[in-house]
Chain A
């Protein structure tokens, strides 16, 4: 048992199971991207480089002990909030204020919050008695609501949703009462009509389109209809890799980013979709297992919340592509083209690997 004592030198602390699952997803993702991009090797290479960077970040973070990561939480959170406030005035982006131009690099503070919010809530609850009492519950809600609202304002509903979910899952795993969870759900349902008046016109159009895509099939309904056609034409077994006739040429506007699942569905059919979903569920299950064997309270909550947040990505993206949800900018984890969210995700898995590597010494599996 002594050989598992924390040490900066020695075997890198990794979870081979999690790593294997992630590499499998990444491999499938690059293959689908090659097809979705019209066999553009350059695009695949760019994505591979980004994922490589993400994996290095993951490995680096996995070597940092959870108690050090814990010290970072308030700082990351505080800096994140400050940067979100800065986007209010000086944010850049097409019609939105998501990016902060730091001279050398452009940075999206909302991505940082995907990790900082669950870290902060876990940090806050770490020393406190669980399940949290009213005071702790309200304080935690405050911690997650401030950045959520700041991100929703940019506007970036997809990311706001993910940030809020990560915080809510932390609270859920800490054991807040079901009454409170149901109450929050009810409140959200009541707030939804109010939200309508806060939304930007393009966001309202997305919801209108979702409710009735056929009403404006050439404009706002275009993406949803085309995506459904691509998915549906895949059938049970798909048309085969590189043979997706629907998705290849004209029809899916963001076929390599948010709508890449449509390409996968067309080429690999229901079987391919099921396989991908099983992979994601395996990742989530492994994440929850890691949480179960975590050494500290905050590690447990954090690993659990990050795992469950992955589910939100998958569910929202899958529902969007199949026309169950309005178009919300949520990528398919590790498969959609784009660097920012992949790096954030892999950093999150780095935290989980650190937690696994520094797990409870006496833990019995399960």
Chain B
């Protein structure tokens, strides 16, 4: 009967049913076999491999725990250890294991503070960082316990369920504040950090690079976590290691910084604040990067206390501020070699073009005088003499002929007005003004007077010490501009010898005439070695020949009729002293920029700092009789 039921003549209900029946039976057979295979897998895990997964008692557990890699060591270019790992102890709590939830946790902390000094800060930090961990993670409470604290805890350990003292390697910076602004420091991993890293690799890591090289090279320095499968008892103590995969330690880094040069510059700055940046013009590697004052990075490694941090934060000298990377200064006369080269290369002047300085310069049709630093003027000067004596009138005239936009475009090639691309974060970009910039930033047209003072590095111009040093390096090596590098070489864990890092990116400034460049370098040579040079005291008794240029960055703008006098102006309003230099003149091995804040004129305050820095480097680098 069902055969007639089927709506169509060809549709055979009976045959379809038997086909379905066969298919259903085959299907069920496949299902049965698959489920048996699955049960076979469970049989394998639960019976055959049971031994490897089982625990000795009901309360024991098998857990996978991370093996934290040792952080890479950092060396200076001469092999001195500048960031090290030292064994230390920290107090940790696993919140989940503490009986009595929140109140229990407070009680535990109270009781612990009888043995281990826990400040309000420590407790607040603990509660703050707790939120970043899962309840079953070990949350650090206090780092760097004293030996007495470790011993006291060891005796009383049984009283504190959920708390433990564990050994770890703590970062240590043997040179303290000398290298803070280069290295940065490591600190407690916080929520933002966790979001930015591979969580798996950081499962056991409790600190991370916060600023400087430690932050920028975090990935290399950290290494790869290993793991071990362990059997633990109910309170988490390891009974047996079932399986272990070692961590791969972080890569050791060799920086291009030379601690001897860094220290020479640091000490030469004395009590003053300021910055010194020294770059090897041959490869863009940074030899010294000083920003003074600084602070002790070791204080941050173990979690700095709030009052100590506030003292640093609120210090009027701003030790947290990295002047070398971020300090914005008016370049003053240190811009003149670059403006001069622009004039020569753009064909506006020749090395022989002479300009008469009578002490004052006027824009046609305006009555405002633009002065030379020498009241009576410098007379008739060419490019070299104008650089030697820092003749403003020459550069006022040149800037007027050039116009601000051409000046902008030429100077931009030397890296002014843009970040240099150094391998740390937080670099400032300075400011190289142009018509377009002023329209965009101030919604104002450009005035001719602004071009005039831009020719001597005043007005809107802002440079960082790093930019300035890199521009000098570019000038003296024939126009190759590198992105400055702090990283010199790397030594991955297990590697026999250090691997040189790739050469940094570079841009070539076009050279129209070698003679133009030589003229500017000659002018800078005469600044130091010429009869009328503005920095003659730098060269005294040196084994090598130095070129340079002084500069003064105005802090306090005088009214036209006022006379500026270092001795009568309050120190914090005094001009910043700037000095750029390179040596040896015929084959430069170092290019530096020095800023002494409130140091007055460049030659007096900044030039000696430059000399000390150059000496420290060239004593080592130049062949010949040392100390002669």
Where the two chains meet, the residues of A that have a C-beta atom closer than 8 Å to any C-beta of B are 127-131, 169, 172-175, 214, 216-220, 222, 225-226, 228-229, 231-236, 239, 243, 245-246, 249-251, 265, 269-270, 273-274, 277, 280-281, 284-285, 288, 291-292, 297, 300-301, 304, 308, 311, 314-315, 318-319, 322-324, 362
Question: How far is it, in angstroms, between the C-alpha of A205 and the C-alpha of B231 when the chains are bound?
Answer: 28
Return 7 A-B CB contacts under 8 Å, by A number: A174-B20, A218-B201, A219-B199, A233-B50, A245-B58, A318-B42, A319-B38
- Chain A residues with CB under 8 Å of B199's CB are 219
Question: Cβ of B11 < 8 Å from any Cβ of A?
Answer: yes
Question: Cβ of B43 < 8 Å from any Cβ of A?
Answer: yes
- Chain B residues with CB under 8 Å of A175's CB are 16, 19-20, 23
Task: Report if A232-B24 is in contact (Cβ < 8 Å); known contacts: A127-B7, A217-B64, A249-B96.
Answer: no
User: Do the beta carbons of A274 and B39 come within 8 Å of each other?
Assistant: yes
- Chain A residues with CB under 8 Å of B146's CB are none
Task: Report if A217-B245 is in contact (Cβ < 8 Å); known contacts: A243-B58, A246-B62.
Answer: yes
Task: Report if A314-B8 is in contact (Cβ < 8 Å); known contacts: A173-B27, A233-B55, A269-B46.
Answer: no
Contact of A234 among B46, B204, B227 (CB under 8 A): B46
Task: Report if A311-B34 is in contact (Cβ < 8 Å); known contacts: A250-B134, A270-B42.
Answer: yes
User: Do the beta carbons of B42 and A308 come within 8 Å of each other?
Assistant: no
Question: Cβ of B239 < 8 Å from any Cβ of A?
Answer: no
**How far in angstroms is the closest Cβ of chain B from A219?**
2
User: Do the beta carbons of A127 and B38 come within 8 Å of each other?
Assistant: no
Question: Cβ of B45 < 8 Å from any Cβ of A?
Answer: yes
**How far in angstroms is the closest Cβ of chain B from A265?**
7
Contact of B46 among A236, A245, A318 (CB under 8 A): A236
User: Do the beta carbons of B20 and A232 come within 8 Å of each other?
Assistant: no
User: Do the beta carbons of B24 and A231 come within 8 Å of each other?
Assistant: no
- Chain A residues with CB under 8 Å of B542's CB are none
Task: Report if A308-B27 is in contact (Cβ < 8 Å); known contacts: A219-B198, A219-B199.
Answer: yes
User: Do the beta carbons of B24 and A291 come within 8 Å of each other?
Assistant: yes
**How far in angstroms is the closest Cβ of chain B from A128?**
8
User: Do the beta carbons of A228 and B45 come within 8 Å of each other?
Assistant: yes
Residue of A nearest to B54 (CB): A233
User: Do the beta carbons of B28 and A288 come within 8 Å of each other?
Assistant: yes
Question: How far is it, in angstroms, between the C-alpha of A311 and the C-alpha of B34 when the chains are bound?
Answer: 9
Please report which residues of chain B, range 35-86, place their CB below 8 angstroms from some CB of chain A when the two chains form the complex: 35, 38-39, 41-43, 45-47, 49-50, 52-55, 58-64, 66
User: Do the beta carbons of A319 and B227 come within 8 Å of each other?
Assistant: no
**How far in angstroms is the closest Cβ of chain B from A245?**
5
Question: How far is it, in angstroms, between the C-alpha of A129 and the C-alpha of B28 when the chains are bound?
Answer: 24
User: Do the beta carbons of A249 and B136 come within 8 Å of each other?
Assistant: yes
**How far in angstroms is the closest Cβ of chain A from B226?**
9
Question: How far is it, in angstroms, between the C-alpha of A308 and the C-alpha of B27 when the chains are bound?
Answer: 8
Residue of B nearest to A288 (CB): B24
- Chain B residues with CB under 8 Å of A311's CB are 31, 34-35
Question: How far is it, in angstroms, between the C-alpha of A344 and the C-alpha of B24 when the chains are bound?
Answer: 23
User: Do the beta carbons of B64 and A225 come within 8 Å of each other?
Assistant: yes
New A-B pairs, 6, CB < 8 Å, besides A285-B28, A300-B17, A324-B41? A218-B64, A219-B198, A228-B53, A232-B49, A319-B38, A322-B45
User: Do the beta carbons of A173 and B42 come within 8 Å of each other?
Assistant: no
**How far in angstroms is the closest Cβ of chain B from A200?**
17
The residue in A175, A265, A291 that gathers the most chain B C-beta atoms within 10 A of its C-beta is A175
User: Do the beta carbons of B35 and A314 come within 8 Å of each other?
Assistant: yes
User: Do the beta carbons of B19 and A235 come within 8 Å of each other?
Assistant: no
- Chain B residues with CB under 8 Å of A232's CB are 45-46, 49-50, 52-54
User: Do the beta carbons of B53 and A229 come within 8 Å of each other?
Assistant: yes
User: Do the beta carbons of A284 and B96 come within 8 Å of each other?
Assistant: no
**How far in angstroms is the closest Cβ of chain A from B103?**
19
Task: Report if A218-B200 is in contact (Cβ < 8 Å); known contacts: A234-B46, A245-B61.
Answer: yes
User: Do the beta carbons of B20 and A236 come within 8 Å of each other?
Assistant: no
User: Do the beta carbons of B227 and A218 come within 8 Å of each other?
Assistant: yes
User: Do the beta carbons of B35 and A291 come within 8 Å of each other?
Assistant: no
Residue of B nearest to A271 (CB): B46
Contact of A222 among B35, B46, B64, B136 (CB under 8 A): B64
Question: How far is it, in angstroms, between the C-alpha of A265 and the C-alpha of B17 when the chains are bound?
Answer: 39
User: Do the beta carbons of B64 and A226 come within 8 Å of each other?
Assistant: yes
Contact of B42 among A127, A246, A265 (CB under 8 A): A265
Question: How far is it, in angstroms, between the C-alpha of A285 and the C-alpha of B63 when the chains are bound?
Answer: 39
Question: How far is it, in angstroms, between the C-alpha of A315 and the C-alpha of B34 when the chains are bound?
Answer: 7
Contact with A along B213-233 (1 / 0, CB 8 A): 000000000000101010000
User: Do the beta carbons of A322 and B42 come within 8 Å of each other?
Assistant: yes
- Chain A residues with CB under 8 Å of B45's CB are 228, 231-232, 265, 322-323
Task: Report if A318-B38 is in contact (Cβ < 8 Å); known contacts: A173-B20, A292-B24.
Answer: yes
Question: Cβ of B540 < 8 Å from any Cβ of A?
Answer: no
User: Do the beta carbons of B23 and A173 come within 8 Å of each other?
Assistant: yes
- Chain B residues with CB under 8 Å of A231's CB are 42, 45-46, 53
- Chain B residues with CB under 8 Å of A217's CB are 64, 227, 245
Question: Cβ of B10 < 8 Å from any Cβ of A?
Answer: yes
Task: Report if A277-B35 is in contact (Cβ < 8 Å); known contacts: A129-B8, A291-B20.
Answer: yes
Question: Cβ of B32 < 8 Å from any Cβ of A?
Answer: yes
Question: Cβ of B21 < 8 Å from any Cβ of A?
Answer: yes
Question: Cβ of B536 < 8 Å from any Cβ of A?
Answer: no
User: Do the beta carbons of A265 and B41 come within 8 Å of each other?
Assistant: no
Question: Cβ of B435 < 8 Å from any Cβ of A?
Answer: no
Question: Cβ of B203 < 8 Å from any Cβ of A?
Answer: yes
Task: Report if A281-B11 is in contact (Cβ < 8 Å); known contacts: A173-B24, A222-B200, A236-B46.
Answer: no
Question: How far is it, in angstroms, between the C-alpha of A273 and the C-alpha of B42 when the chains are bound?
Answer: 8
Question: How far is it, in angstroms, between the C-alpha of A242 and the C-alpha of B559 when the chains are bound?
Answer: 85
The residue in A128, A243, A274, A288 that gathers the most chain B C-beta atoms within 10 A of its C-beta is A288
User: Do the beta carbons of A216 and B24 come within 8 Å of each other?
Assistant: no
Question: How far is it, in angstroms, between the C-alpha of A231 and the C-alpha of B203 when the chains are bound?
Answer: 23
- Chain B residues with CB under 8 Å of A239's CB are 58
User: Do the beta carbons of B31 and A246 come within 8 Å of each other?
Assistant: no
- Chain A residues with CB under 8 Å of B43's CB are 270
- Chain A residues with CB under 8 Å of B134's CB are 250
- Chain A residues with CB under 8 Å of B41's CB are 318-319, 322, 324
Question: How far is it, in angstroms, between the C-alpha of A83 and the C-alpha of B356 when the chains are bound?
Answer: 83
**How far in angstroms is the closest Cβ of chain B from A225?**
6
Question: How far is it, in angstroms, between the C-alpha of A362 and the C-alpha of B17 when the chains are bound?
Answer: 14
Please report which residues of chain B, range 153-208, place their CB below 8 angstroms from some CB of chain A when the two chains form the complex: 198-201, 203-204
User: Do the beta carbons of A292 and B42 come within 8 Å of each other?
Assistant: no
Question: How far is it, in angstroms, between the C-alpha of A184 and the C-alpha of B504 when the chains are bound?
Answer: 54
Residue of B nearest to A169 (CB): B27
User: Do the beta carbons of A229 and B10 come within 8 Å of each other?
Assistant: no
User: Do the beta carbons of B227 and A235 come within 8 Å of each other?
Assistant: no
**How far in angstroms is the closest Cβ of chain A from B207?**
17
- Chain B residues with CB under 8 Å of A235's CB are 46-47, 50, 54
- Chain B residues with CB under 8 Å of A284's CB are 28, 31
A-B pairs, top 6 by smallest CB distance, nearest first, are: A219-B200, A232-B53, A250-B136, A218-B200, A232-B45, A233-B53
User: Do the beta carbons of B229 and A229 come within 8 Å of each other?
Assistant: yes
Question: How far is it, in angstroms, between the C-alpha of A314 and the C-alpha of B38 when the chains are bound?
Answer: 10
- Chain B residues with CB under 8 Å of A246's CB are 61-62
- Chain A residues with CB under 8 Å of B66's CB are 218
Residue of B nearest to A221 (CB): B200
- Chain A residues with CB under 8 Å of B229's CB are 225, 229
Question: How far is it, in angstroms, between the C-alpha of A128 and the C-alpha of B13 when the chains are bound?
Answer: 11
- Chain B residues with CB under 8 Å of A291's CB are 20, 24
The residue in B32, B45, B134, B227 that gathers the most chain A C-beta atoms within 10 A of its C-beta is B45
User: Do the beta carbons of B32 and A281 come within 8 Å of each other?
Assistant: yes
User: Do the beta carbons of A324 and B38 come within 8 Å of each other?
Assistant: yes
User: Do the beta carbons of A220 and B200 come within 8 Å of each other?
Assistant: yes
User: Do the beta carbons of A315 and B61 come within 8 Å of each other?
Assistant: no
**How far in angstroms is the closest Cβ of chain A from B195?**
14
Contact of B20 among A274, A304, A314 (CB under 8 A): A304
Question: How far is it, in angstroms, between the C-alpha of A212 and the C-alpha of B522 when the chains are bound?
Answer: 66
Question: How far is it, in angstroms, between the C-alpha of A249 and the C-alpha of B52 when the chains are bound?
Answer: 20
- Chain B residues with CB under 8 Å of A300's CB are 17, 20
Question: How far is it, in angstroms, between the C-alpha of A284 and the C-alpha of B27 when the chains are bound?
Answer: 10
Question: How far is it, in angstroms, between the C-alpha of A304 and the C-alpha of B21 when the chains are bound?
Answer: 10
**How far in angstroms is the closest Cβ of chain A from B62?**
5
